[in-house]
A = this chain, B = another copy of it.
Amino acid sequence: MLVDLIAELKNITAEDRVSTNETILDRHSKDESYHTPSRPDVVVFPLNTQEVSDILRFANQHHIPVVPFGLGTSLEGHVIPYHKGITIDFSLMNTILEVRPDDFLVTVQPGVTRSQLNKELKKYGLFFSVDPGADATLGGMAATNASGTTSVRYGVMRDQVRDLEVVLADGTVIHTGSKAAKSSSGYHLNGLFVGSEGTLGCITELTLRVYGIPEHIMAARASFPTLDQAVQAVIAILSAGIPVARVELVDEQSVKQVNRFSGTRYKEAPTLFLEFHGNEAGLKQDVTFTKEIVFEAGCDDIQFETDTTERNRLWEARHNLAYAYVHGFPGKKMMVTDVCVPISELAGAVRHAREVVTASGLSGGILGHVGDGNYHVLLMIDTQNPEEMSKAEQVNERIVQYALARGGTCTGEHGVGIGKKKYQLQEHGPALKVMAAIKQALDPNHILNPNKILDHPREILGRV
């Protein structure tokens, strides 16, 4: 069987684009999370949609599991092929196909990374807004409905997707949208495929919304005596209707990691990293008003980064924060909580998270996209130490339960993968049955990233 599989894949693609090399299999056995690695049988590197279609048609006929793979930066085991089979690595499909500046649209292949895209867009005075910590591929970002520091202003990945080309389980190639800015035509397949984590199809092309680089940009760091005051300041900024472009919470421990890793000398206290976009006059007024609000909330120091270099340094440091932790705790693996709560519940949720982490005895940082009510507890753990693993899992569990009890979600942006699967029934109730029915209808042989997001539909449709 294995020999046929490899021969067939080589026949579909090319001799040198099908690999069972140990190093390659290893690299595709894991993501950036603490989840246990597991190797695929084979990794294939397609060049175009036709090849992906041929691979899926073949895999579907023979009921072989298929996992799509971008750069492996997922955080909940999304790309780990626990059922072995074929991993499709999209790194060779990394061409920016078209930039349409007048339409604020770009069409890319799934292996293009967000920084690669932004480098190209800069030539047109444009930028792509979604910026997760990792320099992920756009295919992967669509698959998990990624977001980042700018979502409070520009929205999440799903908001940027105008059209996807998707190869279905049986090899059929579809488009999920169009190039129109809005549509009421047919079911909203864009939204369904974004965030489906490779369980409904493989994304082979994306048409994405982009934005003009703002006329004026101003960044700031505001530090507070307590975490609670920083959170209260965020709530006040949002209530005042200030169209802040970024508002990130970074706790004291995380600022320490930033300084150590990025060589900055930021004050080691609970801090908000802020950014404002707009025309000159409007931005000035936003900034003035924000200053008043943060000081009223107890801010003891605010530093503005007017200079582009310093501003880029600030956001690079923020983006590298997860890597700063990884670097600061050699040999340990990262477990990150990812709940999102209604803004009115944010202060309580962050307080609760701090208490839970302290009580656990683990060391963990709190940070996040607090303008959306989304925050992370970042725990560095020794996955070989059962006690530490169990404590970390309890922290995650308690934080998720707190969020779900208050109308929140177990994952704001990282996705479900295998790590958040156990919360799906509790969060979605009988709606899980709808998801299972959709999965069953679109992937009857259950070959597409099996058992991610959902258990086998057979089990769910009998269970709820």
- A→B interface (CB under 8 Å): 100, 102-105, 144-147, 151, 156, 158-159, 168, 172-176, 178-192, 194-196, 200, 211-212, 214-215, 235, 238-239, 241, 278-286, 289, 338, 340-344, 372-374, 403, 406-416, 420, 423-424, 427-435, 437-438, 440-442, 453-454
Contacts and interface: CB of A to CB of B under 8 A. Distances in A.
Contacts of A191: 158, 188, 190-192
Contact of A341 (B144, B156, B180): B180
13 contacts: A100-B344, A144-B184, A151-B182, A175-B428, A179-B341, A180-B340, A181-B342, A185-B428, A187-B196, A188-B191, A188-B194, A191-B191, A279-B285
Contacts of A200: 187
A192 B181 contact: no
A409 B179 CA distance: 8
A183 B412 contact: yes
Contacts of A100: 342, 344
A182 B151 CA distance: 9
A104 B196 CA distance: 28
B434 A168 contact: yes
A344 B200 CA distance: 33
A428 B181 contact: no
Given A178-B407, A187-B438, A281-B282, 17 more contacts: A174-B429, A174-B430, A174-B433, A176-B431, A179-B406, A180-B340, A180-B408, A181-B342, A185-B410, A185-B415, A185-B420, A185-B428, A186-B428, A186-B431, A188-B191, A215-B241, A440-B441
Contacts of A374: 180-182
Given A185-B424, A239-B102, A180 B437 contact: no
Contact of A187 (B168, B180, B195, B413): B195
A287 to B, nearest CB: 11
Identical chains in the assembly: 2
A37 to B, nearest CB: 22
Contacts of A194: 188
Interface centre among A178, A184, A372, by most chain B C-beta atoms within 10 angstroms, is A184
A200 B431 CA distance: 13
B373 A175 contact: no
A123 to B, nearest CB: 16
A158 to B, nearest CB: 7
A172 B102 contact: no
Given A184-B195, A188-B194, A432-B186, A179 B407 contact: yes
Contacts of A438: 187, 438, 441-442
